[in-house]
């Protein structure tokens, strides 16, 4: 049953990314229809990231209080409704409002899925389980370019938002019918211990882990939201070409997501403990992400896509291990809250770096943007080694 549970989390993450990617694929069409610039587009992305950041601080707490079954269903229904509403947009402002609402709902996916992993999987399998559910983001992003491009060409831009929004409600019905708690805890950490929210905020692990995500997740947001636009603007791809090729980096990223789990598992079998194994796996993945730096310099589009693919595989490999870290140091009853708080760092970094990306692209080029997102994951790895501390149950509430 635990693989059924992780399959449900995988499919929710897939739908989450179909909803999220529908804008980036449709952006060239919407730019012409609504007459917004690179900076205007960055502001629409900022609206999503602002809501995502604000709700991340609340979503994990709500899921821990409501329980995994009700909490996951609530947030999925919310973001699915918001995705449908985007079809009603009449300009950049209303589109930004609907993206704001989408961000509020999508903030619940990862805290809920992390809790599913903590409830059903022991420590040595959490990176692999996290990599599997998180690969749904890559599969969703793989499907988005061809599916959304087809809908845009055949039925118009509104149809793309309607279709992917409707999928979420089908998932909610399946989730409510199938999900249940495990008959036995995966580990002693999966007990019903309640950790006061105030103590979480004072935890060394929580604030340093949150800080680390400021420098990791914005790289993924850059590739998710800006790569189709880069192909259109700098490589002169039309909508049909974007649909044919923009999925490739996300396919490779899906392999990286599973690969990150196997790397950590291999390091554990070599005798490393959980803490250095997770951190070393993230560091190796962050080094791989520097492959994006020359992607904008190479002559051919094929080489550029290949380099971005390697960088995205590095990100998903790193994330597979970072998703498992809260459950290494906290009981399952608190991991959604922990990951929700940490994702505020992700959202804050996303807001700042998305606005910065729009400014860099408008005033300079894509070169400094690619260099930026190739470099900052190394800062995340440095923070994990120097500030986070040991990944062990006794370290979760350390206040150093």
Whether residue 43 is predicted with pLDDT greater than 80 in this model: the reply is yes
Which pLDDT belongs to residue 61? 86
CATH number at residue 222: 1.20.1250.20
Residue 186 lies in a domain: no
Whether residue 196 is predicted with pLDDT greater than 80 in this model: the reply is no
pLDDT tier for residue 189 given thresholds of 50, 70 and 90: very low
Length of the chain (residues) = 400
CA distances, 161 to each of 26, 155, 209, 329 (Å): 10, 11, 34, 39
Residue 50 lies in a domain: yes
Residue 188 lies in a domain: no
pLDDT tier for residue 398 given thresholds of 50, 70 and 90: low
- Range(s) of the domain holding residue 28: 2-180+196-395
The answer to whether the beta carbons of residues 348 and 54 sit under 8 Å apart is no
Residue 191 lies in a domain: no
* Of 317, 322, 315, 327, nearest in space to 384 by CA: 322
Whether residue 186 is predicted with pLDDT greater than 60 in this model: the reply is no
Place of tokens 């997770």: 278
**267-305 pLDDT per residue, tens:** 888 989 989 999 999 999 999 999 999 999 998 899 999
More confident: 329 or 141? 329
Residue 190 lies in a domain: no
Place of tokens 């400021």: 214
Residue 132 lies in a domain: yes
**299-333 pLDDT per residue, tens:** 889 999 999 999 999 999 999 899 889 888 888 78
Residue 185 lies in a domain: no
- Structural domains in the chain (count): 1
Whether residue 395 is predicted with pLDDT greater than 60 in this model: the reply is no
DSSP3 helix / strand / coil % (the chain, rounded to 5)? 85, 0, 15
Whether residue 165 is predicted with pLDDT greater than 70 in this model: the reply is yes
Which pLDDT belongs to residue 397? 55
Extract the tokens encoding 73.
């269903």
């Amino acid at each position: 049953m635990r693989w059924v549970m992780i399959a449900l989390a995988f499919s929710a993450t897939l739908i989450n990314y179909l909803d999220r990617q529908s804008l980036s694929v449709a952006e060239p069409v919407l730019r012409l229809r609504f007459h917004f610039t690179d900076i205007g587009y960055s502001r629409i992305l900022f609206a999503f990231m602002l809501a995502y950041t604000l709700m991340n601080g609340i979503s994990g707490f709500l899921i821990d209080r409501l329980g995994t079954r009700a909490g996951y269903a609530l947030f999925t229904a919310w973001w699915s409704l918001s995705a449908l509403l985007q079809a009603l947009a009449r300009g950049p402002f209303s589109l930004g409002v609907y993206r704001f609402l989408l961000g509020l709902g999508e903030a619940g996916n990862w805290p809920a899925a992390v809790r599913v992993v903590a409830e059903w999987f022991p420590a040595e399998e959490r990176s692999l389980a996290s990599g599997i559910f998180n690969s749904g983001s890559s599969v969703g992003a793989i499907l988005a370019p061809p599916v959304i491009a087809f809908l845009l060409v055949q039925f118009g831009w509104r149809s793309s938002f309607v279709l992917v929004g409707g999928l979420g409600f089908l998932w909610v019905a399946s989730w409510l019918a199938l999900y249940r708690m495990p008959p036995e805890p995966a580990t002693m950490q999966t007990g019903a211990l309640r950790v006061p929210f105030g103590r979480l905020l004072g935890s060394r692990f929580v604030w340093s882990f949150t800080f680390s995500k400021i420098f990791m997740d914005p790289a993924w947001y850059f590739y998710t939201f800006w790569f189709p636009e880069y192909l259109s603007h700098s490589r002169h791809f039309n909508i049909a070409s974007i649909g044919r090729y923009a999925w490739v980096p996300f396919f490779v990223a899906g392999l990286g997501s599973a690969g990150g789990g196997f790397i950590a598992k291999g390091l554990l079998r070599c005798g490393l403990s959980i803490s250095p194994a997770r951190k070393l796996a993230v560091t190796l993945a962050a080094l791989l992400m520097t492959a994006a730096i020359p992607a904008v310099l190479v002559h051919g589009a094929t080489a550029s896509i290949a380099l971005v693919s390697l960088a995205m595989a590095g990100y998903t490999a790193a994330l597979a291990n970072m998703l498992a870290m809260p459950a290494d140091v906290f009981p399952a009853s608190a991991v959604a809250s922990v990951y929700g708080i940490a994702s505020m760092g992700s959202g804050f970094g996303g807001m700042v770096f998305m606005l910065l990306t729009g400014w860099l692209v408008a005033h300079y080029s894509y070169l400094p943007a690619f260099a930026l997102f190739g470099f900052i994951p190394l800062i995340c790895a440095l923070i994990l080694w120097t500030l986070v501390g040991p990944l062990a149950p006794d370290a979760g509430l350390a206040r150093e």
